[in-house]
Structure 1
Amino acid sequence: MKTLTQFLFFIICLTCYAQSHTWTGNGTNNLWSNPENWDALTVPDGSSTVLINGAGEIVLALGANNGATIVIEQGAKLVVEGSLTTQETTVNAAEIEILLGATYSNPGGTITIQENAKLVVEGLLDIPGTNTVVTGSDSELTIDIDASANNNGATIVIEQGAKLVVDGTFNSSNGGNINNSSTVEIGVNGLLSNEGGTITIQNGAKLVVEGELTSDSSGTFDNFGTIEGNGILDITGTFNNEGAISPGGEGIIGTIHFLNNFSLNNGILVTDILNVSEHDSIEVLGTAYLEGDVEVSLYLPGGFGDDYTIVSASNPILTCNFPAEIYYQIDPQETIILETICEDNAFKLAYGGIIFLDVDQYDLEQKIAVAPNPVTQTSTITIPSTFLDSATTLSLFATTGQLVVRKFIASPSVNLDTTTLSDGVYLLRIENNNGFLTEKIIKQAQ
């Protein structure tokens, strides 16, 4: 009889320790630590299954083992002022905010940030062990300025449509991995460090570096997507780069910096060129290995004698293998030839001439009409309706290469106001997904 009594007591205790807690908000405040805010009339502990279901803002001022599993449903917001610890699983379908000085730790389970949800870290995010952070479509994991995240052996997965924003410090160590299938942004004050793990930018994904990314001698950095920005990438370990490098970003002139290793393994250099002094560039303080192709957006044709240093390296470039010539169609009748030049410490593009099509080869309908031209105030720009698509843009450049007007257009006829422009010659460029049309505009005084 005594043994049976002890067994029943043991089962009852197990039930007590595995208790579920659902937020009711029936207390006099919105504090996690108030038992009256929970249906069980007790505060969750490390064995609890916690459900927060759209009850507005909940403040966790203090805490230790706050739950084995925590589920936050849409409409709710959990604000952590002290510490939040989950032992197994956190499912966030709404918002978690870790305030400055607060800590969120998940030592043994999985953190899932669901579609349209946010995890904003202003304090410390600690994810040791084999945890996986999965961010769903339109969701965001943000490490704010002065905040930090420690990925100690975990795997971070950024799914398509999601975003990881690092404005503070994100340390990935002890074999921790980051697998990006969408967007990772490192702000100007941000640092993403890889110590012994692997960072992978998948095909179609993007890494924007305005701050700094480091990968030590035991780490691996694989790029199959696109690297953009004006920041620093310090890579001393393995660097597999079959993707694209676009300094500044698409349509933005910029300079990106690589320390120690820069590799391009059958990848693409994406380069925007305005003129000889304003163009994308890659600066390498170390050794460069270059092999692949070049994609150019050339905003002004240039002339003989013009060259553009795209890559400069402090050490000799050990491999430089590109097509001998790059062709850029500035409009349907004209194609610019750019020659590739490999020097000991630089890779350059040089103006190599222009190819003109015969009139019979040129579709006379594909022209821009500008009236009046010369213009004193406003001109009407007319383009063929067949040239319009969702990405059609109008750009106007001064002869110096300065971009003075840029806007999307959705109509074959658009007015161009020139009243604020100085007198002179300008290059009008209409661009869509299939090519470019250009025309000169002369601005005169009234």
Structure 2
Amino acid sequence: MNTTYRIFLFAFLTTSSVLFAQSHTWTGNGGNEDWFNTANWDVGSVPDTGSDVFIPDGFNTEIAANAAAANTIFLEGTANLVLTNDLLIMDRMEISLLSVFIFQSGVISGTGSSIENHGLLLLESTNTRTFNGITIHNFGELRVTNTNQTEVINGTVINNNTNGRVDIFGSGGFLPLGSSAAINNDGLLRKRANGNTPENFYLITAITNNGIIDVEANQTLLLLDGSSNFTNSESGILRGFGVIDITTNFINNGTIVPGNATTAGILGVINNFDCPPHATIEFDLFGTATADYDAVSITGSPHIEGTLAVNLHYMPEIGDEYTVLTSTNTMTCDLPNFISATFNGSLYRFVIFCNSNNVTLRMVESTLNVSEIASERVTFSTYPNPATSQLTVAIPKFYIDSTSEASITIFNSLGQSIDRLQITSETTIINTAAYNRGLYFLLLHHGKHFLGINKVVID
């Protein structure tokens, strides 16, 4: 064998040993769940840094007795893997849709290595655990429960993808120990309630939110890395009933939504609150009682610009007010004078009052819906028609009661509300001498219920 051939053969064999890692498939023939029991593997040996590990559907495996290593790990079907020691991953771990990886304690390391989770990645127990230089791609659920600190060090990154969920129960935090770490949220990151107990969880990492960060009632999410940015991007939403404590550099280009789409709530924000011109705060209004509309409660001295958006879930009345922003210290703002919202096709206009410690909305005008103009429900009389100096309105006695909830709202031909009258008897006389000539619409309401409409001409 010549020298050139021997060199080539040596190089090929050396390269092949790197390219073609040994396959280890779990059989469970050892009779227990111990990773280090050689009888549990099809090749009769424990995996090492050159091993591609397969744990098939239906098996449970535990790394506890010693530190373990593998090139790749694949959890298939409903396989479970529990880690209470150290694990070195040379390339990647993949968790399938129905599989569970339970990380209770120890260190997962591997520079440039990754964990791709389509199932459940569960961080549980109060023992400290560490991700060292790992990138987590979460397409399923990353759940933090019954926990304390999780160290995320040396460039560890958590990418929560569009369909991914990060559910945080309990107290504790993600701690970088002076090194770098980042969370990129494109899905849903929630600080969940665990009963009614108030709990705090801190994220001392750089954070970019392109999805939703939700904080439930009695919960506080603390974003504490003063040397990094917390960026709420244009698609990012901060919402909930709890408290977000922001001491990191807050860059807000997105939307803040107290409560949720079906229930009004108060979202608390502590310290660094920023609502620049391109950001939005969105409020749902279900009524005028404090518990019936959304609000943001700010501990600090905020400056409010941007857009205030209102979602109406009922028909407001002229004069209805809503204190939607409060602050403990002096508040300044640069907001428009008015905003508008629709309900059942009708347009409602609100004036914005920016006071030293709050922002209040007051409904001042409603514009009639075309569909309402065309509707006929309860018949009531208006005469004479055309009218000149006065108009008589006669409504059925059934709608006159001691509560005096019957009312008439008068709209001009442009659909603008110009007057509102309480009705306390079967006939009411309206002085029309000051009205301009033209077509008017009289809407009959009983409380907040629309009953009918008449058209009259003022001549």
> What is the TM-score normalised by the length of structure 1?
0.71
Secondary structure of 2:151's match?
Answer: strand
1:331 aligns with 2:333: no
Contact 1:145 1:190 in 2 (8 A): no
Q: Report the CA distance between 1:62 and its aligned residue.
A: 2.3
Q: Which of the residues 56, 59, 72 maps onto 2:59?
A: 56
**In 2, Cα distance between the equivalents of 1:81 and 1:119?**
14
Contact 1:65 1:85 in 2 (8 A): yes
Q: Report the CA distance between 1:64 and its aligned residue.
A: 0.6
Q: Report the CA distance between 1:234 and its aligned residue.
A: 1.7
Structure 2 residue aligned with 1:37: 40
Give ranges in structure 2 of 5+ residues lacking alignment: 1-5, 379-397, 400-445, 453-459
**In 2, Cα distance between the equivalents of 1:85 and 1:30?**
19
Q: Report the CA distance between 1:221 and its aligned residue.
A: 0.9
Structure 1 residue aligned with 2:290: 277
Secondary structure of 2:300's match?
Answer: strand
Structure 2 residue aligned with 1:292: 306
Contact 1:167 1:191 in 2 (8 A): no
Q: Report the CA distance between 1:67 and its aligned residue.
A: 2.0
User: 2:328 corresponds to which letter in structure 1?
Assistant: S
Q: Report the CA distance between 1:201 and its aligned residue.
A: 1.2
Q: Which of the residues 202, 206, 217 maps onto 1:198?
A: 206
Q: Report the CA distance between 1:181 and its aligned residue.
A: 1.0
Give ranges in structure 1 of 5+ residues lacking alignment: 368-372, 375-424, 429-437, 441-446
- Distance 1:286-1:70 versus aligned 2 partners, 3 A rule: same
CA deviation profile, 1:66-120 (whole Å, cap 9, x unmatched): 32322222231213355544344222224334265x33523424333343x1111
Structure 1 residue aligned with 2:381: none
Contact 2:158 2:182 in 1 (8 A): yes
1:238 aligns with 2:249: yes
**In 2, Cα distance between the equivalents of 1:77 and 1:439?**
62
User: 2:356 corresponds to which letter in structure 1?
Assistant: D
Q: Which of the residues 271, 275, 278 maps onto 1:264?
A: 275
User: 2:361 corresponds to which letter in structure 1?
Assistant: L
- Distance 1:120-1:194 versus aligned 2 partners, 3 A rule: closer
User: 1:263 corresponds to which letter in structure 2?
Assistant: D
Secondary structure of 2:146's match?
Answer: coil
CA deviation profile, 1:169-217 (whole Å, cap 9, x unmatched): 331533311111111111236655343x421111xx2110122132332
1:59-98 maps to which residues of 2 (within 5 A)? Answer: 59-93=62-96, 94-98=98-102
1:100-249 maps to which residues of 2 (within 5 A)? Answer: 100=104, 102-103=105-106, 105-115=108-118, 117-123=119-125, 124-129=128-133, 131-136=134-139, 139-152=140-153, 153-168=155-170, 169-173=172-176, 174-188=179-193, 191-195=200-204, 197-202=205-210, 205-210=211-216, 211=219, 212-224=221-233, 225-249=236-260
Secondary structure of 2:275's match?
Answer: strand
Secondary structure of 1:145's match?
Answer: strand
Structure 2 residue aligned with 1:377: none
**In 1, Cα distance between the equivalents of 2:187 and 2:369?**
41
Q: Which moved more, 1:55-64 or 1:283-292?
A: 55-64
Structure 2 residue aligned with 1:416: none
1:283-432 maps to which residues of 2 (within 5 A)? Answer: 283-318=297-332, 320-332=333-345, 334-357=346-369, 362=373, 364=375
Contact 1:24 1:55 in 2 (8 A): no
Q: Report the CA distance between 1:303 and its aligned residue.
A: 3.8
**In 2, Cα distance between the equivalents of 1:92 and 1:249?**
32
Secondary structure of 1:36's match?
Answer: helix
Contact 2:92 2:116 in 1 (8 A): no
Q: Which moved more, 1:179-188 or 1:350-359?
A: 350-359
Q: Report the CA distance between 1:163 and its aligned residue.
A: 0.8
Q: Report the CA distance between 1:275 and its aligned residue.
A: 1.2
Whichever of the two has the greater Rg, that structure is 2
Contact 2:243 2:270 in 1 (8 A): yes
**In 2, Cα distance between the equivalents of 1:295 and 1:77?**
46
Secondary structure of 1:322's match?
Answer: coil
**In 2, Cα distance between the equivalents of 1:75 and 1:300?**
48
Q: Report the CA distance between 1:358 and its aligned residue.
A: 6.3
Secondary structure of 2:39's match?
Answer: helix
Q: Which of the residues 19, 22, 26 maps onto 2:25?
A: 22
Q: Which moved more, 1:79-88 or 1:219-228?
A: 79-88
Q: Report the CA distance between 1:249 and its aligned residue.
A: 1.6
User: 1:281 corresponds to which letter in structure 2?
Assistant: A
CA deviation profile, 1:141-193 (whole Å, cap 9, x unmatched): 11113254322231211111111111143315333111111111112366553
User: 1:113 corresponds to which letter in structure 2?
Assistant: E
Q: Which moved more, 1:166-175 or 1:220-229?
A: 166-175
Contact 2:161 2:186 in 1 (8 A): yes
**In 2, Cα distance between the equivalents of 1:106 and 1:366?**
71
Q: Report the CA distance between 1:222 and its aligned residue.
A: 1.0
Structure 1 residue aligned with 2:3: none
Secondary structure of 1:144's match?
Answer: strand
- Distance 1:323-1:297 versus aligned 2 partners, 3 A rule: same
**In 1, Cα distance between the equivalents of 2:447 and 2:103?**
52
- Count of residues in correspondence between the two structures: 363
Q: Report the CA distance between 1:239 and its aligned residue.
A: 1.0
- Distance 1:98-1:256 versus aligned 2 partners, 3 A rule: same
**In 1, Cα distance between the equivalents of 2:264 and 2:274?**
21
User: 1:89 corresponds to which letter in structure 2?
Assistant: R
**In 2, Cα distance between the equivalents of 1:58 and 1:323?**
61
Q: Which moved more, 1:260-269 or 1:84-93?
A: 84-93
Q: Report the CA distance between 1:44 and its aligned residue.
A: 2.0
